[in-house]
Structures are given as C-alpha cells and as structure tokens.
Amino acid sequence: MNLRSRILKLNPATLILLSFFLVILSGTVLLKIPASTTAHTIPWIDALFTATSAVCVTGLIVMDTGTAFTVFGQWVILALIQIGGLGIMTISVALFHWMGRRISFHQRMAMQGLFSSQPREDIFNLVRNIVLMTLGVEFLGAVFLTLHWSREFGFGQAVFQAVFHSVSAFCNAGFALFPDSMMKYGDSYLLNAVVCCLIIIGGIGFPVLYDLQSWFKLHRIKRFRFSVQTKTVLVTTLVLIIGGALFIYITERQGFLDGKPVSFRILTCLFQSITCRTAGFNTMDIGGLKDATLIIMIFLMFFGASPGSCGGGVKTTTLALLTGFTLSGIRRKTRVNLFKKSIPSETVNRSITLVLVSIGIIGLVILMMLVGDSITGHDIQQPRGSFLLYFFETVSAFGTVGLSMGATPDLSEWGKSMIIIMMVIGRVGVLTFSYIIVGKGPTNGIEHSEENMMIG
C-alpha cells in the first residue's frame, strides 16, 4: 500500500491534525533559516513556537515580531497565519477544485466537520464562499488600516502594516508588528473600529457568515429562517462583548482606566473584551491589570470564539448549551431548548464533556509546568507568583488568544513545549483529539442495574 492510499484511509480528524503538523514543521524550517531573522539565527524551540503560534492563530510570542524577524520572516508568519486561519483543509480543497482534481470522501468529511453542522452536498460552493469572503473582508480591512497608517508611515510601509494586521485580526491571530501590540493606538477610533470588526467577523464562524450572506440575498424574495446555531452565536457573542466590557470597566475604573477620558475608557474596554476572546491584541497593559480583571479575561478566553471560525476555545455555543442545560436542570426539565428548538441530548452531553476535558487538560498542563520548574530550578520572577501567570498563559494558548502577562519569552524549553501542545489542541479541538485517540463511533458500553446516589 503506497503512502497516498494510506493517507486517504485516515479518518478526517487525523487528516486535519497531520495537515497542521506538516504546515507547522514547514514554517519552523522557514523561520529557522538566516534570512528570516535579524540575528540570522534563533533556537529551534523558538522557531517551532513561533510557527505553531502562527498556524494555530494564537499570537503568543517568544520574540518581538516587528524587530526580531526580517521582512521575509514576517511574510512567512503572515502566510502561516492565513493558512491556519482559513484552515489547511479549506485551502487544499480549493486548490484541488481549481486544478480539476477529485475531492476524496475523507476531505469532504473533514470539511463537513469543520464548517457545517448539517450534511452539505455543495461543499465546493461552501469552500468558495469561505475563501472569497475571507479575502474580501481582509482586503477591506487593509484599505481602512492603510488610511490610518498612511499618516505615520510611507505608503509602502503603511500598506504592509495594514495587510499584516488585517489578516492577523480577521484570523484572530493577534500577531502585531509593534512591541506593545496596539497600546499606542488606544485612542484611535478608526483603528479600534476596524480591528474589532475584523475580529468579530472572523470569530463568529463561517457557517454564521454563510447564513448572513444567504439572508442578505434572499430575505427580500422569501422569508429566511436563521439556524439555531446562527441565532445562538450572535446572541452569545453580543452578551459576552457587552458583559466583558462592563466587567473590565468596573474592575479597572480605579486601576488602568483611572484618570482617562470617558471615551477612552469605553473604547478600551470594548476593544479588550472583543480581543481577549480569541484575537490577542491589547490596548491595556495586561501584566498591570488587577486579579479580578485577569479572571474575567480567563473566562472569556476559555470559551473563545464560535464553531467553524478562526478562533479557539470551547466555543460560544458550548457556553449557551451549558447555560440552557443548567436552567433546564433547575426547572427540572429533561430537554434543552434554544429559540424554540430542542437540542439533541447527544450534543448537550458532548458540550459538557468538552468543558470537563478542557478544564482537566488545562489543569494538567499548569501542574506539569510548575513541576518542571521545580525540577529544573527555573524561576520566573513575578510578584504574583507562577500559578496565576501559568494559568493565564495556558488558557490563552488553549483559547488561541495570544494575550500574555509578559512571561512567554521567559518560559523554559519545557514550558514552551507545554504551551506549544496547548496551542495545537486549542486550534484543532479537544473533540478532534478524542476522536483520534478513542475513535468517533459512539457505543452504549455495558449497562448494569441502576442505583441512585446523593449529589450536591
């Protein structure tokens, strides 16, 4: 059996994971060559970390993107972000279709799992719409950002800055070419508005964008019904943005926001609430924020973006299902209903499993990082101690957010390795890994006689 036949027999989850590994390794090699860095060499672990962060659209960095990498290296990072944001399977299917090649059943199933909750026969139309929509939104974002940076840089540099940050924002990557991310632009209405729009559009998911596009085309001709997923994503996203901004405003009004104009406070809180879900840009000094603010950010990072999007986390729909499940349990109802539709029990159970497994993985990685530091004697000097620091960095990696309290460059090789693993898990998905390990087919297992027990 040749290599191609073996690859075609892989299940879709394994195919997706191997695709990510292949691109990450290719990016690592490209970033390792002398032409990519201003110092002409970086350690392999740093090249691997940067490539993983770019492909997994995370944005955590061990060296400053704008000064440590050459223009060639920055283009490599940009290409990795675009590939990771669109998804390797999307790009491969689009290229195969363009070349007239047949798409295998496994590729169709992989695309089905990535971007649609319902079976679709028009997989090529879906992929075409995803690619065109992505490039179109990124182009518009780059145009507006060019207008912003044309006042600060020459035209050519302004265009490069605009393209890089537009792609980074839409793909929810959080890579910036400035040492302080977007902090010096905290009072720019144009930049804040454009970046926030790009992040939201890239984070609500391609299925929702496809639904919105269909509504725009058809609502004048016939009555169009949004799917439950679209309604859930839009409502949950709005609640998280407004709720997160309010909490940040309350906790930091006598901290980072103290003495700032009201307009700056509102703009900063909205920006940070939006970006800390998956994007990783910041207009606030994350390391100087209060513990209460950091806990709020950890909550937002954990749930992250929406299914079928560029972002990570356990997703907004999972939060909605958990909320619905909890309210149904309190009311002693057996079904979870959202927008006058009953959600299958299997989907609800998967969402609970996803959250529990994710919490377990995060806790395990934090423990392993702390134990590793104890064994090796590696110590990060932080007034808050290592636990909150590692907690924040680990959830940021898992949610593919990229926000950092400033400790990422100081991590040991062991710590960097743990964060690399978390970035891959966060981007590919916990459930995808579970399918690879235990298989996708559900089984009832052994059923015994029932016996009740006390809880609570």
Q: What is the pLDDT along the chain (456 residues), one digit of tens a residue?
A: 565 556 556 566 676 777 788 889 999 999 999 999 998 889 999 999 999 999 988 889 999 998 999 999 999 999 999 988 876 556 555 555 554 455 555 555 555 555 555 545 556 667 777 788 888 999 999 999 999 999 889 999 999 999 999 999 999 888 999 988 899 898 899 999 999 999 999 888 888 888 888 888 776 777 778 888 899 999 999 999 999 999 999 999 988 898 889 889 999 999 999 998 888 899 998 988 999 999 999 999 999 888 878 788 889 999 999 999 999 888 888 888 888 888 888 888 888 988 999 999 999 999 999 888 888 777 776 666 678 888 999 999 999 898 888 888 888 889 899 999 999 988 887 776 666 665 555 556 577 777 777 666
Which pLDDT does position 123 carry in this prediction? 62
Nearest in space to 249 (alpha carbons), one of 237, 271, 266, 263? 266
Q: Are 253 and 234 spatial neighbours (Cβ–Cβ below 8 Å)? A: no
Which pLDDT does position 350 carry in this prediction? 86
Which pLDDT does position 139 carry in this prediction? 95
Which pLDDT does position 444 carry in this prediction? 60
Question: Concatenated DSSP letters for 339-362?
Answer: TTEEEPHHHHHHHHHHHHHHHHHH
- Block residue for tokens 């690859």: 7
Strand partners, 342: 337
Which pLDDT does position 218 carry in this prediction? 74
408 φ, ψ (degrees, to nearest 5):
-55, -45
Q: What's the pTM?
A: 0.87
What does DSSP say about strands 341-343 and 336-338: parallel, antiparallel, or unpaired?
Answer: antiparallel
260/285 Cα distance (integer angstroms): 14
Q: Where are the domains of the chain?
A: 8-438
Strand partners, 341: 338
Cβ atoms within 10 Å of 373's Cβ, excluding its own = 18
Which pLDDT does position 215 carry in this prediction? 81
Q: What is the pLDDT of residues 94-144, one digit of tens each?
A: 555 554 455 555 555 555 555 555 545 556 667 777 788 888 999 999 999
E strands, 336-417, are 336-338, 341-343
Counted residue by residue, the chain has a size of: 456
Q: Are 15 and 7 spatial neighbours (Cβ–Cβ below 8 Å)? A: yes
Which pLDDT does position 375 carry in this prediction? 84
Nearest in space to 122 (alpha carbons), one of 92, 85, 93? 93
Which strand (E) or helix (H) includes residue 283? none
Dihedral, CA of residue 170, residue 172, residue 178 and residue 182, to nearest 10:
90
Which pLDDT does position 80 carry in this prediction? 94
Q: Are 42 and 75 spatial neighbours (Cβ–Cβ below 8 Å)? A: no
Q: What is the pLDDT of residues 395-449, one digit of tens each?
A: 999 998 988 888 888 888 898 999 999 999 888 877 766 666 655 555 565 777 7
Cβ neighbours of residue 403 closer than 8 Å, sequence gap 6 or more: 59, 174, 275, 276, 280, 282, 286, 297, 301, 392, 396
153/355 Cα distance (integer angstroms): 45
Q: How does DSSP classify residue 10?
A: S
Cβ neighbours of residue 181 closer than 8 Å, sequence gap 6 or more: 174, 280, 281, 282, 283
Cα-based angle 187, 188, 191 (whole degrees, multiple of 5): 135
Percent helix, strand, coil in the chain (nearest 5)? 65, 0, 30
Which pLDDT does position 130 carry in this prediction? 79
Q: Are 158 and 186 spatial neighbours (Cβ–Cβ below 8 Å)? A: no
H runs (alpha helix) in 87-222: 88-98, 105-115, 123-149, 155-170, 189-203, 206-218
Nearest in space to 113 (alpha carbons), one of 416, 443, 434? 434
Which pLDDT does position 159 carry in this prediction? 95
Nearest in space to 171 (alpha carbons), one of 23, 24, 309, 313? 309
Which pLDDT does position 13 carry in this prediction? 65
Which pLDDT does position 8 carry in this prediction? 54
